[in-house]
Structure 1
Amino acid sequence: MTRTEADAVGSCNDPTLRKAARYLGATYDKALAPTGLRATQFSILQHLSSRGEITITRLAETIAMDRTTLATNLKPLAREGLATVEPSATDRRARIVTITPDGVARMEAALPHWRAAQARFEDNFGAERAAQLRAVLGDVLDTGFHPWAE
């Protein structure tokens, strides 16, 4: 590997961000394991609980995930009765996602585990730095890229 190639790899934002996301994601997955939820599923249930019914397209935009990956993540939630995915009454092409009462109960049961993981991260990383990290990562979403544009 040439020096230029090594510089490009070492300064690339993508692998560093992915590595940190896998590391932190695994931490939250482990914390949520007793509830039978993965961090991504918990996040989806949280979004659904605060928004009521929502189209798959809108939910995908809200959580910055492509529709296909979201649909894959929704399947086990629907299979377990934690969410429903139904055709829209007004637009048969659209699919509406809704959290079920069992989904609300599972999300609420997972909250203490999530809070413990959150507190552990903030204790180790620093609450102020964690808030700054969330703000900076939020800014990333406003950079103007459209990775899932059709």
Structure 2
Amino acid sequence: MTPTPTDPADACNNLALRKAARYLSATYDKALAPVGLRATQFSILQKLSVHDEITITGLADMIAMDRTTLASNLKPLAREGLVTVEPSAADRRARIVTITPHGLARMKAALPLWKAVQARFEESFGAGEAARLRTSLVAVLDTGFEPWAE
């Protein structure tokens, strides 16, 4: 039986997850810095690299981020010419995000750095534990909360 923590913050799922997320984000950011990307930017480019084009809403859903935050994250990528964000021809209210050839090249340059930090984490944490962690974190997304529902 696990003892009950005396500090309520020690039992806070959100705090524990955010601490771990900040720790890993900083680790991945540091690893990707030589190619001028942050971990979130790499993830966006990686997702875009397997889709011809996608709406901001679709991409936000795919990476579990609210549209406003995603739009803010896309601005520097667009300024650097790594993505384009244009109105949809089918629905002028929707905006379509596309990775550019320059963005694809940057993502490919970052891939070995990402693979190296990924391997270091799995070596330290354990490959099986890392796989179980990812499975558990995906399950969190199915808990029924609607944080971005309008």
Aligned to 1:40: 40
Matches within 5 A, 1:47-126: 47-126=47-126
1:144 paired to 2:144: yes
Q: 1:54 is matched by which residue type in structure 2? A: I
3-state SS, counterpart of residue 86 of structure 1: strand
CA-to-aligned-CA distance 1:46-73 (integer Å, 9 cap, x gap): 0001112000011001100001100000
CA-to-aligned-CA distance 1:97-144 (integer Å, 9 cap, x gap): 000000000000000000000000001000000000000001001111
CA-to-aligned-CA distance 1:39-98 (integer Å, 9 cap, x gap): 000000000011120000110011000011000000010000000000000111000000
Contact 2:29 2:37 in 1 (8 A): yes
Query: Offset at 1:8?
Result: 2.6
Contact 2:28 2:117 in 1 (8 A): yes
Q: 1:64 is matched by which residue type in structure 2? A: A
Q: Specify which structure has the higher proportion of helix.
A: 1
Aligned to 1:23: 23
Structure 1 runs of 4+ aligned residues shifted over 2 Å read 4-8
Distance 1:148 1:104 in 2: 29
Q: 1:12 is matched by which residue type in structure 2? A: C
CA RMSD of aligned residues (A): 1.3
Distance 1:146 1:48 in 2: 24
CA-to-aligned-CA distance 1:21-44 (integer Å, 9 cap, x gap): 000000000000000000000000
Across the two proteins, how many residue pairs are aligned to each other? 147
When the two structures are superposed, what TM-score results if normalisation uses the length of structure 1? 0.95
Distance 1:8 1:117 in 2: 33
1:127 paired to 2:127: yes
Contact 2:5 2:11 in 1 (8 A): no
Distance 2:33 2:121 in 1: 17
Query: Offset at 1:10?
Result: 1.5
